[in-house]
Each structure stands twice: as C-alpha cells, then as structure tokens.
Structure 1
Amino acid sequence: MPNITSLFVTRLYRAGLSEFGASVDADELENSCLSIAEDDEAGQEWCDANDFPGYTSYASLTDLAWRFPIFKDIVDSLDQHVASFAKDLDFDLDGRKLVLEDIWINILPEGGYHSAHIHPHSVISGTTYVAMPEGASALKLEDPRHAMMMAAPPRTKDAREEMKSFVYVKPVVGDVLLWESWLRHEVPMNMSEEHRISVSFNYRWE
C-alpha cells in the first residue's frame, strides 16, 4: 500500500472572541463601528477616492484600541488568541512577542466586496465578526500554491477540503479567524441587504 502524507500544512484558527473570558457586548460593538464610520470623514474620503465599496478605517483609524475602550477589550482578547495560534504554529519567537500592528473596521453594504490580497508586512492576520446577516459573504481562502499549478487539472467538486484550491469559511458573529499573513484571502460580494461588519487586524514580530 502506498504511504501518502500531508506536508506544508496551512493552518486556520477559529474560536469565539470570548474564549479567554473577555466579554464584549455585540450590539455595543456594532453601534460603535457604525458611529465611528459616520464620524470618520478622512476614512470616508479615502474610500471615495479609492472606489472602495462601503467603509474601512484602514487608511484613517488603525489605533482604535487607544481611542475607544470597547476595542481595548477586544485587543486584550485577541492578544491571547494570537499567542495560542503562534504556539500551534510552532513559532520560535526567540524571546520576542507578536504584537498588534493595526486594527480597523470594515463595513460592506449590499454589493460590497474585498478583492483578493495578502498582508505582506505582518506575521498573523485575522478578523472578528460583528454583523453577519443572512446572505453575507463567507471568507474565501486561496491555496498558496495556486499560482504554481499552471499545468494541473482542476480539483473534483467533492475534493477533500485540504485538497481544494479555494475554501469558503462562513463565520458567525463573535468568531475570531486567524491565519498567517501570506495567505491570500478575499470577501466575495455581500448579497445581503444589510451591512456585513467586521474588525480586522495584523500582528507583527517585535
């Protein structure tokens, strides 16, 4: 019998934001995101200038934990999630830490989307989910070897998840998803009439 093993595994972390005891009121967080978006004129201008569908504070307010207490509670929880994921990844941090680099709000209206991208200057990236109405799009993750499979045939529709070229992960409100920052990902078009709201973040090695 042949011996077939899996090599070079891509890990995806999923847990509840409150896994380590932190309690964040979901309605308060959603209202905070909407209020910040309404007041952030610089962010609105950036979105308009760059044809960004919806709102993001990525280019205007990435220090949310310093400005708003509810985001400080979120970061305290995320620090523990990232430390847990780093342990699973067998990272040798050499006495240093993974620390928050930036954190920002994403609000996608109906028809909004985030095209495929990576976060090249970070180690771990992720998102926690604030509002996921019925019809809101899943997170789409791409096999990092995809660009090198130029002559490969397509996978079968019923291929095992670890063999698929793309995997869709459907989070719920309160979920935290983490992945290594080199993993290409996107948010397909939001088909819901309501806003899809999330808070994304990057951690660097310091």
Structure 2
Amino acid sequence: MADISSLFVTRLYRARLNELGDDISTDELEASCWAIYEDDEAGQRWCETEGYPGYTSYASLTDLPWRFPIFADVVAALDKHVAAFAEDLEFDLGEGKLVLEDIWINILPEGGTHSSHLHPHSVISGTTYVSMPDGASALKLEDPRSARLMAAPPRRKSAREDLRTFVYVAPQVGDVLLWESWLRHEVPMNQAEDERISVSFNYKWEG
C-alpha cells in the first residue's frame, strides 16, 4: 500500500483569548476600540485619504497598551498564546524571544474588505475578534504555494481542508487566530449591517 505523507505543513493556531487564565471583557474591549476611534482624528483622516474602508489605527497609533489598560491585558494574554504557538512550530529561538511589534484596531463597515496581503519582517501575525455580527466575513487564508501550482488542475469543492487552495475560517467573538507572517490572507466583503471589529498584531524575533 502506498505511503502518502504531508510535508511542509502550514499551521494555524485557534484558541479563546481567555483560555490561558486571563479575564478580558470583550464588551470593555469593544467600548475601548470605539473610544479610540472617536479620538483618533489622524487615523480617520488617513483612512479617508487612502480610501481605507472603515477605520484602522495601524497608521496613526503605536501605543494602544499605554492608552488603555485593557490593551495591556490583551498583550499579556497574546504573549502566552504566541509562546504556545512558537512551541508548536518548534522554533529554535536561542537566547531570544518573540515580542510584540505592533497592535492595531480594525473597524470594518458593511461592504468593507481588507485585500490580500502578508506581514513582511514579522514572525507571527494574528487577530483577536471583538465584534462579529451575523454576516461578518470570515478570514480567508491562501495556500502559500499558489504561485507554483502552474498547470495543476483545480481542487474538488469537496477536497479536504489541508488540500484546498483557499481556506475560510469563521472566528467567534473572543477567539484569537495566529499564523506565520508569510501566510497571505484577506478579509472578504463584510456583509453584516453592523461593523466587524478586530484587533490585529505582529510579533518579531528579538535576540
């Protein structure tokens, strides 16, 4: 009988933000996201100038954990999740460690999208989900080998998840998803009437 194995596996980490002993209120986190949005005139201007749908603090604020204590609590929880994921990935970090590089808010209105992208210069990227109304878009992940598939025929619609070209992950409020930063991903059109709110972040290797 043929011996068929999987090689060069792409890992996706999914957990509850609070499952490692933290007690973070998503209601308080959502209220903090809205408060920051209302005060961040520079971020609002950047989004309008760049045609960015909704709001992101990515281009305007770099100190969320300092501004609101709940973001410091979120980072403390994320540090544990990232450490667990790094262990699963069997990274040899030597004397170094993975540390937060940046963290930002995303508020995506009805009809808004985040186009396909990756996060260069980072090691682990991810998102924790604050508000996911009915119809909110899933996270779309792309097979990193897509550019090398060349003449390969398409996969069957019923193909198992680890063989699909695209995988859609529908997170729930309070989930945290982690992936290696080279993995291309996007947020398809938000079809919910209410805003889809999330907090995204990058971790870098610091020796």
Secondary structure of 2:19's aligned partner? helix
Is 1:31–2:25 an aligned residue pair?
no
Matched AA of 2:88:
D
Q: Compute the RMSD of aligned alpha carbons.
A: 0.6
Secondary structure of 1:18's aligned partner? coil
Partner of 1:110 in structure 2?
A: 110
Q: Which runs of 5+ in 1 are unaligned?
A: none
Q: Deviations over 1:101-156 (max 9, x none)?
A: 00000000000110000001100000000000000000000000011112111000
Matched AA of 1:94:
G
Distance in 1 (CA, whole Å) between partners of 2:62 and 2:4 is 45
Q: Deviations over 1:148-196 (max 9, x none)?
A: 1121110000001000000000000000000000000000000000000
Identical-pair percentage: 74
What is the deviation of 1:62?
Answer: 2.5
Q: Deviations over 1:75-96 (max 9, x none)?
A: 0000000000000000000110
Matched AA of 1:181:
S
Partner of 1:91 in structure 2?
A: 91
Distance in 1 (CA, whole Å) between partners of 2:62 and 2:176 is 18
Partner of 1:46 in structure 2?
A: 46
Matched AA of 1:86:
A
Secondary structure of 1:20's aligned partner? coil
Q: Which runs of 5+ in 2 are unaligned?
A: none
Q: What aligned pairs does 1:130-141 form with structure 2 within 5 A after superposition?
A: 130-141=130-141
Select between 15-24 and 176-185 the one with higher mean Cα deviation: 15-24
Distance in 2 (CA, whole Å) between partners of 1:113 and 1:98 is 29
Secondary structure of 1:19's aligned partner? coil
Q: Normalised by the size of structure 1, how large is the TM-score?
A: 0.99
Partner of 2:59 in structure 1?
A: 59
Q: What aligned pairs does 1:14-29 form with structure 2 within 5 A after superposition?
A: 14-29=14-29
Distance in 2 (CA, whole Å) between partners of 1:62 and 1:189 is 27
Partner of 1:78 in structure 2?
A: 78
Secondary structure of 2:104's aligned partner? strand
Partner of 1:195 in structure 2?
A: 195
Partner of 1:11 in structure 2?
A: 11
Matched length: 206
Matched AA of 2:125:
S
Matched AA of 1:83:
A
Distance in 2 (CA, whole Å) between partners of 1:52 and 1:148 is 31
Q: Normalised by the size of structure 2, how large is the TM-score?
A: 0.98
Secondary structure of 2:121's aligned partner? coil
Matched AA of 2:46:
W
What is the deviation of 1:23?
Answer: 0.8
What is the deviation of 1:44?
Answer: 0.5
Matched AA of 2:203:
Y
